[in-house]
Amino acid sequence: MKHVNKAYLLLAIIGLSVACTTQKRRDDLSPLGKLYHNTTAKYNGYFNANEIMIATFAQLDSQYQDNYNQILSMYPYLENENPQGIYPQMDTAIKKVSVVVNLHRPSQWTDDCYLLVGQAQFLKQDYESAEATFKYMLNEFDPKVAKKPSAKDRSKNTAKSVAEKKADLKEAQKERELTAKEKKREQNRLRKEREKRAKEIKKERARYSKAVKRARKKGLPPPKRPGASTQNTETKPEEQPAEKTPPPNSEGEKKDSKKNKKDKKDEKPEEPTEEAGPENYFLKHRPVYQDAKLWLAKTFIERDNYDGAQRLITQLNDDPNTLDIIRQDLMALQAYLLLKQNQDELAISPLEQAVASADKRTDKARYAFILAQLQQQAGNSDAAYANFEKVLKLTNDYEMEFNAKMNMAQNAWASGRGSAEDAVANLNQMIKDEKNTEYKDQIYYALANIALKAGDRTTAIENLILSLENSKNNNSQKLESSLKLAQLYYEDEDFVPAKQYFDIALQAMPDTDKRFKEVERLSKNLTDIAKNLEIIALQDSLLRIAQMSEDEKKEFAAKLKKQLEEQRAAEQAQLVNEQVGNKQVADSRSISTPALQKESSFFAYNDRALKQGKRDFQRKWGNRPLSDNWRRSTQQSASSLDEGAASDTVATVASVSDEEIENFLKGVPKTEAELTIVHIKIREAMMALGRLYRDRLQNNEKSIEILEELNRRYPASNEELDSWYYLYLAHKDLTQNAEAKTYADKIVAKYPNSTYAKVIQDPSYIVEVQNEENKIIKYYNDAYAAFARGEYQYAFSQSNAAREKFGATNPLQPKFALLSAMSTGNLKGKDAYVSALNEVIAKYPNTEEQKYAREVLRLLGASTGTLPGQQKIETDQFEVQNDQVHSVIVVLEDVASLNDCRNAVSDYNKKYHDPDKLRVTDVILPSGETKTPLIVVRRFKNKDDALKYITGIEKNAKDFIPSKFTYEIYAISQTNYGKLFATVKSVEVYKTFYDANYK
């Protein structure tokens, strides 16, 4: 018995080893081999990789926060702003299926493995690689392409006996020996069949005509035309339907029947035609060829190849063999393509089909919500209401259900089902529901929209402010509320709050938002405008206080003290909450590297400036509480304080000490000199606003308003000429020619020798000015070229002569001074060079030339042999080489941290960039006596790839270098890297070039 068991075991091992042998084709395998490869491929690598993919899709869907005030995303997993965050799991999935393909290629799961690779590349947003993978699948796994004969079949053919080969030759010879008579007989038979068929068709038509006449006489509808009567009697033989077997008594019966039997024997079963419909894959493996085509279309959309995507979608839609499981997603993809092309109304029809065909309730609910949003946007409130109602039946997500109800409330009165008052009442009722506490920000936003439709801007603004106050974790709602507030204030030309809310919107808005660039532009345009408006408001307040009597000042201080005492507890609680919230935000956004930090230019977001301003404000005004609607609260307090209205809660003047009064009124001008400074600040700010309104906002009316106010308040000021010229331009732009001529005459009469007067009298004068500027530029380029050639004496003489030739105030004088200093260094040595550079630093503060001079001085202090003047310190040494191979350099503060940081970078690359095989090295950049430690990450194909790597670090900073180390990070081309080490040896100089060309 033992021997028998051993024999069975040996046979099993031999059979398994044969099955495990990797073959080139699936057909070459035995049934046991196929079972082994299919089972091992599916339940090992592919199963584990597929589980990773399923979990990743779920993770991306769950972490995306829907913005219900915008059209919802069709595919939330596409909205991932940090694709590098999923690199590790996607790389793991690709590795697993790669092993499956290499070891079990004959299995029927090979195409599934390739599909999973393409999907992983797609989620990594490596769309180029995903496109290549899906295209390979379409070429390699097309089921309509005939397969080549297997090696086994070929070996069988080659192993035929000599007798079999002779028999094949004999049969072929018989077929060739068909006589002409037999061929003619066959042709005659076919002709007779056609004639017979033509007669039958003629009879059928005659019968049909008689039947039609009888039906007309009886008043009945005509009978259905027989299908045979529509056929063309002249159809070519190859277009005829299959010939019926000839009747037994037909000529050539025996020969034809023998031939037919032989043909049927050799005939292979026909493949199902396209009209047969999709194949049924119940209980058997389904190929994923159509899935690959669907995902390729999706990839084309992300690569903006809309024509290619539409072609694939049309092919799948028109193909009767397209599987139902593919059609479930096809119309959704069609709608997504149209939405990407901003053809929202055209997307409605495919979305209706997508709702009907989608298999999952969650998908149905999402598509129905998007459909309702599009119909609402198109003004079809009835249809929108119906689809929002459908969402309630489909979704189990409370947030979606809540938003559907809220939209139904708004669409009810828009569609005539109720009034605006009913909608407001429904929304207010929703506010009272405790379940909606975290959704109050959205309800107030909806109330604001209703108020705007009713033309009530004041109520709309109040509700938007309430929306922001109640916005806790909903960043999307914070964005929409702040942006709408900013737009309302901007339309009202109230630019200070407009600037503030634009900045809040920018903080909440991803840079992928299509509105980002426009909002950023508006915010930048309003930066200086808001700053000057605040200067005017502050200085006017100081002037009003300065004009008070001593008793009024004491009363003002007493009232202010009382207000502070009453609100101190509330203010402290609010400050604590704000500090906790700000700390959480700071912790979530903190990046220790200066190069990675993107700070707002608005002063309120500069932490040091904010704290300093708070201290200055408290010294001037005391510890005042924060509050919304600051205009009204300020006006209320100012009127109550300035007019001295009686109040039971007002503190007595005696309760305020002289020291407190001094602290409250610190900063208020007391002397004539201080008052003069206040007036100068107001004048300069008003003039700046006049320019900004016209140049930045193209708002000539506001420019005229502020400049006329400037001339009214400060006649014959230093700003008079500039203000008149801008008033002339503004009136001219508004085609107010009479007013424009008035200011033109004033300028010519009072300032006849000014540039403005010459331009007004002779418009060609501006061309002469430009020609003069061109002369200066050409002169400088000539002097600099001589310096570059080593002609230092000529460069020195030309630089010094520029002052007399073009005047000391010419715009290029700082450049001439620096060029002269550099020439001096080469002609007279180090001491003269240092002296000349110090003169540049002293004469031209806050210029690029001053920065360069300081950098050279730093290098000179560390240099012993060569003078830096013999090197080009300008950033012209570096070249813009976007398509060249790049590296990323990480600049550290001290050498001691080099090892730890290098290891951290290597770990980061292994986690997020393992397939890229990036190399990490550490080097020391010698900068005189100081040594700058660098970590170099190589290599990237071009600038875009290097910047993509840096962007990934910004989003995954916690996994990069530990926060206790300070660092800066830059991308650099291969050539510029060599120049940095060989000649420049200064990260500061490269930083200037980097800021100008890489940001």
DSSP state of 625: P
Contacts of 71 (CB under 8 A, 6+ apart): 339, 344, 370, 373, 374, 377
- Low-confidence stretches of the chain (pLDDT < 70) are 1-30, 145-184, 186, 216-278, 282-283, 413-418, 569-656, 658, 664, 766, 768-770, 772, 859-876, 927-930
DSSP state of 874: S
Angle between helices 792-806 and 813-828 (to 10 degrees): 150
pLDDT score for 394: 92
- Is the sign of the CA dihedral 919, 924, 927, 931 positive or negative? positive
How far is residue 858's CA from residue 92's CA, in Å, rounded to a whole number?
50
Residues 111 and 289: beta-carbon distance below 8 Å = yes
Residues 948 and 77: beta-carbon distance below 8 Å = no
Phi, psi of 772 (to 5 degrees): -65, -40
How far is residue 837's CA from residue 854's CA, in Å, rounded to a whole number?
8
589 preceded by a cis bond (ω within 30 of 0): no
How far is residue 746's CA from residue 743's CA, in Å, rounded to a whole number?
5
pLDDT score for 952: 87
Residue 209's Cβ-side half-sphere holds a number of Cα atoms within 13 Å equal to 6
pLDDT score for 310: 94
DSSP state of 966: -
Contacts of 157 (CB under 8 A, 6+ apart): 149
How far is residue 605's CA from residue 603's CA, in Å, rounded to a whole number?
5
Residues 576 and 934: beta-carbon distance below 8 Å = no
Contacts of 318 (CB under 8 A, 6+ apart): none
How far is residue 929's CA from residue 394's CA, in Å, rounded to a whole number?
71
Which residue carries 């660092």 as its tokens? Answer: 967
Beta-sheet pairing, 967-973 with 886-892: antiparallel
Per-residue pLDDT reduced to its tens digit, 11-33 = 444 444 444 444 445 555 667 77
Contacts of 834 (CB under 8 A, 6+ apart): 857, 860
Beta-sheet pairing, 886-892 with 919-927: unpaired
Contacts of 470 (CB under 8 A, 6+ apart): 440, 441, 444
Which residue carries 């010939």 as its tokens? Answer: 243
pLDDT score for 69: 84
